[in-house]
Amino acid sequence: MLFILGGTRSGKSKYAEKLAKSFNKEVVYIATFPAGDDPEMTERIKRHRRMRPKYWRTIELGNIDKIIGELKKIKNSVVVIECLTILVSNLLLELNKPKNAENIIINKMRELTSSMKDSDNVIILVSNEVGHGVVPGNELARSYRDILGKVNQLTAEGSDEFYVMFAGVPVEVKKLGKSGT
């Protein structure tokens, strides 16, 4: 499992796609943002679709349980999940602010991570770093930031390789087999 973390416009997607191509296997791209009524976001989705090679299979799923189910069907491929940021947001909004949202989301992410470890696929996960920004001005946004920060920690801990993107430059944080990891 490879994890790519970075800020907005840091080059996460481009680097994930470069890594995916390097394995010379079928690539399955799981997009976690479902197209909706937001014209600006719809344009972003279209732009991302145009950036990816046409021969990649794209699946648009914004639900962890559906992604876990899909991973069981995919064999010997590279799977790019773009991105955990939106996946956590989808789940938080779906839960509609229960008191134990954090526990539910962390447990769902543990399920997802476990299914990835059991897979024969190469998994590349992308997420936004949210810990370097300002403290959000409302409870839901603070909760989201805190939960995503914990999800990122969990993902980094469980990954075999971990990169942080800075202005389009990947910095290797963790790679199994190297000393110190």
Active site residues: 48
Count of Cβ atoms closer than 10 Å to residue 119 Cβ: 18
Contact 140, 117 (CB under 8 A): no
**Using omega within 30 degrees of 0 as the cis cutoff, is the peptide bond preceding 83 cis?**
yes
Nearest to 32 by CA among 72, 59, 70: 59
Strands (E), 16-150: 27-31, 57-60, 78-82, 122-128
Q: Could you tell me which residues are beta bridge partners of residue 174?
A: 162
